[in-house]
Amino acid sequence: MTQFGRLLTAMVTPFDPSTESLDIDQAKCLAAALFDSGTEGLVVSGTTGESPTLSNREKLALLEATVEVAHARGAPVIAGTTTYNTAESVELSREAARLGVDGILGTVPYYNNPPQEGLFQHFRAIASAVDLPVILYNIPSRSPRNMEASTTLRLAREVPNIIGVKEASANFKQIGEIIRDAPDGFRVWSGNDADILTIMALGGYGVVSVAAHLVGRQIEALIRAFGAGDNARAAQIHHRLMPLVDALFVTSSPIPLKYALNRVGMRVGNPRLPLVPIDPKSQAVMDAALGSVTVDLKVPVPA
C-alpha cells in the first residue's frame, strides 16, 4: 500500500485569469514547485482546490495532470472525489482510481447533515468501491456535522483500506482518543496548520497543509525538529509561521492563498464564484504576513 508522507499539501486549483477555465499547464507547474519546496504528496480537488465549483470532468483532468507530475517524482496524489452524494462519490472515486491516483480523501458530507450511522455507511460504501487507501476528512467548520471519534474508530477497525484521518475539528480530546484507540498503522494528519505541534504531541503523524504552498520547507523543518525531539526548535518555527497561518484564513480560504500565490509570481487566477477576489482589508493582512516570512516556493522563470 502507498505510504503517504508527513507533509501533504492541499493544492489550489489554478484558473486562467481571463476565462476562469481550468489551467492545466499551471497546475502542473504548481505541483512541481510544491514538490521542490518540501511537499511529499498532494491532495488535489479538495476544499482548498475549490472542489465544489469544479465539474467532474475538470476534477478528472486536474487529477490526471497532477498524477503525471507526482508519479515522475515517485510521489502520491490523493484525490478529493467525495461530496454529499454517496453514489456520485463512488463513481468519481472509481474514475480517479482508473487515472492512477494513489488514495482518496473522504470528506464529511456537507449540507444534508447525515447522522453518525450515515457517515459510517457513506464512507464504507466509497472505500469498498475502490482498491485504494482512503483518508477520512473531518472538518466541522465546512459541514454541519462533526464525525465523532467513535465513528472514525469504527471505520478504522471495520474497513481495511481506511488508513487515516485528516482532523480539522481542533477538538483535541476527540483527536487524542482517535490516536490512542485506533488500530496500528492508522494515521492522523492535522487539517489545520496551527495544530501541527499539538496533534503530533498527541501522537499524530503529520499535516495536510495550506501554508505549505508558501513555506513548505519551514513546515518540513518543524515536523523534522519535533520528530528529533528538538521541541524548542519546532516551537520556534511554529511561532514564526503563525502570522502567515492566521492570515491565510482572514477571509474564506483559499481567497487569501490565491492572492498570495499570485503576488509571489505563481499565477493561479482568482477564485471562482461564489468566492471572490480578496478585499482590501484582508489584502493588507496578507501583505503584512508575507512580509514576516521567507517564501520557500520557487516560481519558474518563463523560458
DSSP symbol at 264: T
27, three cell numbers: 497546475
DSSP symbol at 92: H
* The one catalytic residue among 137, 205, 258, 259: 137
CA 166, 169, 170 angle in degrees (round to 5)? 105
Handedness of CA 289, 53, 140, 126 (dihedral sign): negative
DSSP symbol at 194: G
300, three cell numbers: 519558474
Whether residue 173 lies in the annotated active site? no
Closest CA to 103 of 145, 140, 66: 66
* The one catalytic residue among 59, 166, 205, 258: 166
Closest CA to 237 of 223, 249, 256: 223
Q: What count of residues does the chain have?
A: 303
Catalytic residues, by residue number, are: 137, 166
